[in-house]
Structures are given as C-alpha cells and as structure tokens.
Amino acid sequence: MLSSSKKNRHILAIPWPASGHMPMIDVARQLGIRGITTTFAVTRKNLYYLNPLISLHDKTTIQTLVLPLPSHPSLPAGSENMQDVTQDYFLYMVEALSELHDPIMQWFKSPLAILTDVMLNTWTHSLASALGIKTIDFLPLSQHTAYNCWSDYQEMK
C-alpha cells in the first residue's frame, strides 16, 4: 500500500465522464477505510452522477473538486459527459479534458497519487509526473471495448 505521513494521505481521482465509470468511488471507499482521503475532480454536470454515490459513503474521506470543462470546437456546447454525445466524440472529450491539466496544477494539494481512469492517461500521467507523484489506472470496462477505443485512436494519429 502507499506509505506516507498521516497528514498527507490524499489521492486525487479523475474519472472518465460517464456513469459507468463512477464505480471508481468504491475504490475511494476502500482507501477511506484505510485513512486515505480521495478528491474527485469532476465537471459540474458530472456531480449529478457522483453525488448519489458519495452520499452512500463517508463524506470525510471522499471530496469533490469541481472544474469547468474547457470548450472544444468539435464538442456540442454544454457537453460534459459521454451521455451528452455519441462515441464519435470520444477523442474530442479526451482533448477537452486534457485542458484540465493546468487548473489541476493550480489546485494541487500534495496528493500521494492520481487515481485516473485509463481513458485519460494520455494526459494524467504527465500531470502526475509534473507533480512528482504516481498514477493508479482504473479500467471499469471489458478488454474488447478498450481495444476498440484505442485502436481507433491509433489510426487517427
């Protein structure tokens, strides 16, 4: 397990903005049992999916950091969650979310690590590196789905 002083037992969680990826909160609950606080970085609209789950857990160990989703020219206005768009917008959502790098750097409160959805590791790993901390990748979907998502990404590069 992660080792650190009692005062610095904190992890920043960055979930993929889709309701099926919010089970990351169960990982946060397990960390909370071990005395580690988790802060979820989410957009305003994604609180809708996260708040009911947070209400089931110890609020002293699970917190939120609400950040505005940066606009992207290829995303429809107001889109903050994959329920707002089709899978065709996947890469644009990744690009928009990567713009949260600087706001998170400004917020930085010395987490032990970043618990990141694997869909976001194109930028969360560099964020963790810049902060001098580790990443813990979270993947709540089938290998088949992951393969299809990333093979499309590689073809577009």
* Residues catalogued as catalytic: 21, 117
Six-digit token string for 33: 């049992």
CA dihedral for 68, 9, 108, 13, sign (positive or negative): negative
Residues 6+ apart with CB under 8 A from 35: 6, 9, 61
Say how many C-beta atoms besides its own lie within 10 A of residue 26's C-beta: 13
DSSP H or E run through 13: strand 10-14
Distance CA 145, CA 141 (A): 7
Locus of tokens 């750097």: 105
